[in-house]
Amino acid sequence: MQRLPIQFAEGQKIKLFPGGQNILIKKIVKDLCSLFTPGGHAIYVRDSHSKLAYYDAVVRDINMFFPQDTVES
């Protein structure tokens, strides 16, 4: 199954499973974030199918809200 690649401004890359809300998530990250939050960066993106997620390194280091066993680097 072909996954949807997403590259963040910081150079991080993840691949989401196609279908469901993941198509919308890719469009939001690619199109809307650069338009409405220039200079900003994503801190959390979750794949609705595999339950793996991208966490910003700062959020990962704080480890306040997210269990580490679901983190994909």
Give pLDDT, residue 59: 65
Residue 61 is predicted with a pLDDT of 66
Write the pLDDT tens digit of every residue in 1-53.
688 888 876 778 888 888 888 889 889 888 888 889 888 878 888 887 777 67
Indicate the pLDDT class of residue 67, thresholds 50, 70 and 90. low
- In this structure, the number of other CB atoms found within 10 A of the CB of residue 6 comes to 21
Alpha carbon 3 to its chain centroid, in Å, reads 13
- For residue 40, give its domain range: 4-70
| Res. 55 pLDDT band, cuts 50 70 90 | confident
Which CATH number fits the domain that encloses residue 34?
3.40.1350.80
Is the pTM value of this prediction over 0.85?
Answer: no
How many domains is the chain partitioned into structurally? 1
